[in-house]
């Protein structure tokens, strides 16, 4: 989740329109602002999801570390044996090392892909929760528009903590 930028959240939750503004020269509607990066970070479901995800991948992470340590040891042994063993033996050791290294890369990609997919799925659910609560607050408090704090330079009422409170009360 650390990789998700503020700009990404600004795009993901740029606007939640609630109501239609009249066509006119000046529009003085009620505007709300939400710091979505803060909401995501402080939402308890985000924290819980991150903890679950880390626990779930803890074993896989340690497995990758063991494999990496084994590869480093193999490489050291290979370097040490370079001038000592015959070329045929060295080529065999080098071939095994290359195979093990390729297996490590494949395992790493597989684990990383699974992790990223689960992280995306969890974030999708969290973003949907946030959108739902923002829409409820906007409707109940009669906001004409709600923007992410990052996309609006001036004006508007900050409803970030209202959103956070309702999200964290939601079970």
| pLDDT tens-digit map of 14-28 | 433 333 333 333 556
> Cα separation of 55 and 47, whole Å?
12
Cβ distance 164 to 39 under 8 Å? yes
Q: Which domain holds residue 63?
A: 6-19+27-169
In this structure, is residue 1 part of a structural domain? Answer: no
**SS3 of residue 32 by DSSP:** strand
- pTM across the whole model: 0.64
In this structure, is residue 59 part of a structural domain? Answer: yes
Which tens digits make up the pLDDT trace of 13-69?
Answer: 443 333 333 333 355 688 999 999 999 999 999 999 999 999 989 999 999 999 999
In this structure, is residue 83 part of a structural domain? Answer: yes
CATH number at residue 64: 3.30.910.20
In this structure, is residue 112 part of a structural domain? Answer: yes
In this structure, is residue 117 part of a structural domain? Answer: yes
Domain count, the chain: 1
């Amino acid at each position: 989740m650390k990789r998700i930028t503020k700009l990404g959240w600004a795009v993901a939750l740029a606007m939640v329109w609630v109501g239609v503004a009249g066509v006119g020269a000046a529009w003085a509607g009620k505007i709300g602002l939400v710091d979505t990066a803060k909401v995501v970070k402080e939402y308890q479901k985000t924290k819980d999801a991150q903890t679950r995800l880390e626990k779930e991948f803890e074993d896989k992470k340690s497995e990758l570390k063991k494999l990496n340590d084994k590869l480093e040891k193999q490489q050291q042994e290979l370097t040490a044996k370079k001038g000592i063993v015959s070329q045929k033996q060295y080529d065999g050791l080098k071939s095994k090392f290359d195979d093990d290294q390729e297996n490590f890369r494949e395992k790493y990609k597989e684990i990383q892909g699974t992790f990223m997919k689960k992280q995306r799925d969890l974030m999708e659910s969290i973003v949907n929760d946030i959108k739902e609560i923002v829409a409820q607050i906007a409707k109940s408090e009669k906001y004409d528009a709600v923007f992410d704090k990052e996309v609006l330079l001036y004006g508007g009422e900050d409803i970030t903590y209202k959103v956070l409170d309702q999200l964290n009360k939601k079970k």
